């Protein structure tokens, strides 16, 4: 005799409900098995007390949180547990542990929160899923080799020269340098990424300086982490409008650039491959013809990422370095002496070899990036278990790495709050763990544009120091960092501009 499921349900409905609950529970446990395993392992670690639902987000938003991480490592140990809402994270502080994650191709997947940057940055190299990122990175990497970057050095130098002239106009005045630097960085990016020369084109209507990052706002309101809810809010609608404007602008520029390239092929001009200026947009359009898998949409996404990610990071690093040189005149003088030796009174614009020869200036930039790395937090999702000492951080667990905190570990950088560029001379650098200084991240998913950024920063700083000395402003000698997606200085960065040609020889600065 065959008994049907309906007959079982009719005769034993209570038992059927029990079976259904058990099966549902098993299914939920299966779906959540990695999360549960992460919670179990991470709970064994030390860390600050968490608040239900919010976790440690309220503490993470405190201005001194990253500073505390470095100082309290002796309390919590070499890694710290934190809760971002209901999600467990492990903060790694020691370079050896960081290398296990950033140095491996098995841990290149970005965490969930990077997706919250999609509308602001676009789905470029920073936020791409691992599979697409790997393809795009391979395609775009040649654009950042030195022989290609050499073509950008004249653009860097021309805009840096314009920046220097604005400084000269402010001689003997106290100025907040952040606005001047940010404007120059934006002009450089507009020409190198989009091919727009601000001296001949109008850029006021471009949307690349209008958006704002809503990630922290959403983290403090966990219900807004659900995309469909966030889209219904005022901020969600505004962010989507901003994204649409970015895409429309980039699509228009891409089509214009493609048409221009077709016309050039039909009517070649007199410029050689070495002398003509090239933009990254033009480079990507040419890639599209060779690699159809790199679509028009991919070009637009990467354009948005390069334009938006490069502004705050390079602008902040350049302004911080100039400010620190103004407040450490002995190192400013060393940089000036180096520049005088390189140029020997010649007013020419720097070549890439000149920029590479600026070893002292490079040490000062690196020390500035140690103290104030543009991106204070990096996050990864583990692709397999990582064992550190007696602890196991399980597959799927999210890991936070804070360059700001790691750069302040006194056993790697003695007297960590002091500005000491000699830390980055050849001898000291060779002794230090390679993952102790990671302002551009490290490993296979490091910043693709770090060489671009260094040349850009050197160009701006050297242009200013060739004609100016910078002095500290009484009462405004201390940087008050403000931590968001990038570090900023509360109240700005103030210096006094002194024209070098007018500085008496016997005056000690």
Known binding positions for heme = 447
- Residue 45's H or E segment, with its range, is none
Is 298 in contact with 285 (CB distance < 8 Å)?
no
Binding site, annotated residues:
447
Q: For residue 422, with 0-12 CB atoms within 10 Å meaning exposed, 13-18 middle and 19 or more buried, which class applies?
A: exposed
Contacts of 435 (CB under 8 A, 6+ apart): 95, 96, 98, 99, 102, 103, 442
Residues β-bridged to residue 390: none
Task: Report the alpha-carbon distance of residue 96 to residue 315 in Å, rounded.
Answer: 30
Q: Strands 79-84, 87-92: parallel, antiparallel or unpaired by DSSP?
A: antiparallel
Q: Strands 378-381, 398-401: parallel, antiparallel or unpaired by DSSP?
A: antiparallel
Contacts of 379 (CB under 8 A, 6+ apart): 89, 110, 111, 113, 114, 398, 399, 400, 401
Is 416 in contact with 409 (CB distance < 8 Å)?
yes
Q: Classify residue 21 as left (phi > 0), alpha (psi -120 to 50) or beta.
A: alpha
Is 42 in contact with 70 (CB distance < 8 Å)?
no
Task: Report the alpha-carbon distance of residue 199 to residue 206 in Å, rounded.
Answer: 15
């Amino acid at each position: 005799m065959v008994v049907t499921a309906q007959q079982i349900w009719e005769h034993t409905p209570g038992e059927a409900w029990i079976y259904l609950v058990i099966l549902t529970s098993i299914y939920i446990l299966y779906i959540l098995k990695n999360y549960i395993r992460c919670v179990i392992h991470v709970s064994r670690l030390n860390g600050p007390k968490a608040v239900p639902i919010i976790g440690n987000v309220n503490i993470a938003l405190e201005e001194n949180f990253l500073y505390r991480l470095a100082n309290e490592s002796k309390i919590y140990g070499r890694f710290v547990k934190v809760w971002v809402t209901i999600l467990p994270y492990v903060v790694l502080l020691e370079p050896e542990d960081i290398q296990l994650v950033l140095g491996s191709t098995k841990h290149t997947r970005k965490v969930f929160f990077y997706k919250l940057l999609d509308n602001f940055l676009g789905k470029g190299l920073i936020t791409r899923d691992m599979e697409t990122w790997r393809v795009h990175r391979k395609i775009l990497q040649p654009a950042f080799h030195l022989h290609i970057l050499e073509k950008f050095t004249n653009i860097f130098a021309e805009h840096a020269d314009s920046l220097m002239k604005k400084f000269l106009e402010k001689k003997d005045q106290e100025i907040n340098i952040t606005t001047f630097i940010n404007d120059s960085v934006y002009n450089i990016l507009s020409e190198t990424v989009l091919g727009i020369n601000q001296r001949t084109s109008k850029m006021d209507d471009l949307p690349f300086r209008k958006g704002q990052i809503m990630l922290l706002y959403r983290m403090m309101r966990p219900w807004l982490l659900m995309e469909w809810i966030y889209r219904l809010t005022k901020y969600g609608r505004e962010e989507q409008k901003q994204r649409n404007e970015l895409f429309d602008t980039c699509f228009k520029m891409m089509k214009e650039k493609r048409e221009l390239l077709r016309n050039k092929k039909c009517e070649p001009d007199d410029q050689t491959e070495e002398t003509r200026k090239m933009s990254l947009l033009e480079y990507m359009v040419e890639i599209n013809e060779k690699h159809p898998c790199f679509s028009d949409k991919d070009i637009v996404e990467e354009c948005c990422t390069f334009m938006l990610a490069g502004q705050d990071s390079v602008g902040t690093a350049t302004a911080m370095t100039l400010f620190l040189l103004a407040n450490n005149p002995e190192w400013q003088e060393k940089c000036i002496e180096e520049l005088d030796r390189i140029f020997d009174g010649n007013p020419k614009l720097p070549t890439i070899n000149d920029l590479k020869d600026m070893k002292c200036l490079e040490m000062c930039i690196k020390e500035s990036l140690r103290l104030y790395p543009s991106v204070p937090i990096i996050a990864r999702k583990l692709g397999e278990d990582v064992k550190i000492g007696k602890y196991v951080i399980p597959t799927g667990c999210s890991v936070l790495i804070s360059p700001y905190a790691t750069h302040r570990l006194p056993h790697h950088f003695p007297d960590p709050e002091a500005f000491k560029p000699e830390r980055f001379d050849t001898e000291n650098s060779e002794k230090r763990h390679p993952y102790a200084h990671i302002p551009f991240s490290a490993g296979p998913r490091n910043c693709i544009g770090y060489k671009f950024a260094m040349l850009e920063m050197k160009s701006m700083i050297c242009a200013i120091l060739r004609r100016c000395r910078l002095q500290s402003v009484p009462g405004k000698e201390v940087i008050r960092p403000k931590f968001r997606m990038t570090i900023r200085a509360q109240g700005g960065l103030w210096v006094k501009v002194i024209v070098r040609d007018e500085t008496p020889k016997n005056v000690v600065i």
